[in-house]
Amino acid sequence: MKEDINGFKNIRMVDNFYQTSSFIPMPTIEISTLDENGNTNIGSYSLCFPYYIAGKDYYAMILECRNSSNTCKNLLRTKKCALNFITDKPKYFKEAVRLGFPGETTEEKMKDCIFSLVDGKRAKEDKNGKYPKVIKEAYQVFECTWDDSLDNAFNDKVEEEYNGPYHNFNGITSKFGAHFILKIDNILIKEKYYDAIINGVSASGFPSVPVDYGYRDSKNFWYTTFKRPRKEPIPKNKGVGLDSVKYAASRIDPEVKFSDEACAMLVKVPRVFLTMVLRGCVDWAKENNVTLITEKEMKIINDKRSKEKK
């Protein structure tokens, strides 16, 4: 009998522990890449998460995969991919399970694919380039390029077997594994969800996202379908007072000032993020030759897609 530890059992960790020893909520992503003949291949992945989210000169995702997979080989060759986020329709997840089965060629895998493949933004803007197609049925797509400069992974290439030395976090990372830091070139999103982000999201504005439980047994992959999301207001006592905002704003930069109305719009910002938010406002002001940030400028800054609205 396993030892009881305050109501917990200690379970043995083995390879693929996220599937065999635990339950981890994960996304369902179809990754499209180009094979050696320039044809789009699709592989299903859940180990794909945000990596660089702020403070860098680009944003990035991290992908973990087998180094024998078509996706890995194609990324090593071309450095290009698209992350296609599908909804929770049963037929889509069934197809995701099929497309995740290893060992098939692109021709074999894609012959009966139910997804519609179309050009993305990169292909539209670069007529002479070659890019993997994106899935039309996806609710959003990240077009990405592998940054092989990180961890000195630029010399990695397709091999029959990888015997090291291995990288720590980018490129070929073990005898069987690979990690790819994927620079996000474009985020493409369907109009309904674009409008929700720009104009304010409500419960009905969320896409029907499947959650992969991580765990699978010898017969099935397990996932859950979408349920109406619940909202939980941010506690009022977690923000900062107006006087504290005004004090911080008056000292953030000698050239850029904030009106009282602008400061009032920042009282709900958690204290730990206030300086970062103020610096972001100052950066915007200097880029736009603004020396006094008023309520008008704050509304522009708060619009996450202000450049698209110009």
Query: Residue-wise pLDDT tens for the chain (310 aa)?
Result: 567 888 898 888 888 888 888 888 999 999 999 999 999 999 999 999 999 998 899 999 999 999 999 999 999 999 999 999 999 999 999 999 999 888 899 999 999 999 999 999 999 999 999 999 999 999 999 999 999 999 999 999 999 999 989 999 999 999 999 999 999 999 999 999 998 887 777 888 899 999 988 667 778 888 999 988 888 876 766 667 888 899 889 989 989 999 999 999 998 888 888 888 999 999 999 999 999 999 999 989 887 555 555 5
Q: How far apart are CA 121 and CA 188, in angstroms?
A: 8
Contacts of 233 (CB under 8 A, 6+ apart): none
The reported pLDDT for the residue numbered 28 is 93
261, 295 Cβ separation under 8 angstroms: yes
Give me the residue label for tokens 């403070």: 55
pTM flag (> 0.85)? no
Beta strands 40-45 and 48-52 are unpaired
The reported pLDDT for the residue numbered 88 is 95
2 CB burial (10 A radius; 0-12, 13-18, 19+): exposed
156-188 in b/e form (b: 16+ CB < 10 A) is: beeeeebeeebbeebbbbeeebbbbbbbbbeeb
The reported pLDDT for the residue numbered 117 is 98
